[in-house]
Chain A
């Protein structure tokens, strides 16, 4: 039984099992954010710059998918990766890789939608100049993404926050296997269901602190960059 102080001691005390869980949480969520950014940044930028029939519908759906329920994404990926499913032969279910894939899908709409909005705003400002300089479409994407980089840091943080905070997706596709796919959020859920609420809260505060730290670091990077580049 953990009371408040012993729970705190456990959380801060360097328990290797706990650190493994924290490390896995960061690996999964950071990887998912990176992959989602790799697809979402160019996707959002391209969408901002292109015009085609049905564009509005695509944007509306993409914005709506920012609110995809994690448990639904988890279920969909589970059905895909299950042995009985189409991608079952990859043997990815109940592994960290499956968790990364699922979280990437969860975070992708957030990054794409927010990038689309940001780049569209920047394009409104940059349109004349870039057109006068005859910049090719793909180069425009690169230029706008780079110039919007500080705003996009916030977008990436939004994506990371979503990934780090959710439990539904990783629980279903990861299975919360002790030592393999257990992350902070699933551990909190588990300890809650075991009735060890002080420990669950302790872990919860630790998780929040980690997310705050990541945000603070990103803020620092952004400020330093802004000072350098105006």
Chain B
């Protein structure tokens, strides 16, 4: 009876107190649901591991949450798509440097029968105005993600104070891109999505692309190493190796090579100044 108890206590102690193996070859990357749900990481990371032997563990959250995770030191690298938030992150000293990696664009998804009458338009701001004017159902991510921040910026550009102008037509769900698309499909509503997730999304029902191609829908991704001075546990060599690979010609070519049904999802632009 006593030996059993001692063994049990020992096992418990081992499980709880043994620290994670210190320098195993892995990093934690806080990224967004759009990069996960589009399948990009499933494609890229094995290539990276093959090249460097480094395992990348991806936590997929909204941009806001991903940057918070990085801020807390629970990730080594942040890979998100909200430039303003990223620059703020650097400014407060939480990150070392922001590197542009790739872009895709947002598309406005909507029901086939187009209640707001905007289908085929290339003017996203006008489309937003029409949606609000007609009270057409609209699903918002509501989760401080890059997509959500882009959506809020567009409302602003349309001159609409969405906080006060929203009515029952505006469905703020507080979830990731996949969940938002599911909800929009079920509600037959408009939703702003990144093209990558849309292409790989399987539950479309009656949704189609309503508006695309507007320059304002440009969606830039950046990667940042978490500041090791703030969080000594950050694996800076491996983290930097990941960043360097992403922006290297090899990494950029890999990103370019990711296709679904023959369509390219993300466009590498690490060497474009000011991206």
Contact = CB atoms under 8 A, between A and B. Distances in A.
Let me know if chains A and B touch directly in the complex, using CB atoms closer than 8 Å.
Answer: yes
B38 to A, nearest CB: 9
A183 interface: no
A89 B19 contact: yes
Interface in B51-110: 57-60, 71-74
Contacts of A90: 16-17, 19-20
A93 B178 contact: no
Contact of A193 (B1, B8, B12, B179): B179
A196 B73 contact: no
Interface in B153-190: 175-179, 181-182, 185
Most chain A beta-carbon neighbours within 10 Å: one of B22, B36, B41? B36
Contacts of A84: 71-74
B89 to A, nearest CB: 15
Contacts, number: 93
Q: What does DSSP make chain A's interface, helix, strand, loop or mixed?
A: loop
Interface stretch (A51-59, A157-165, A170-178): A170-178
A35 B11 CA distance: 9
B236 interface: no
A100 B15 contact: yes
Interface in B192-231: 200-204, 231
Interface string A59-99: 00000000000000000000000111100111111110100
A180 B200 contact: no
B233 interface: yes
Nearest to B60: A176
A97 B16 CA distance: 7
A177 B202 CA distance: 22
Contacts of A92: 19-20
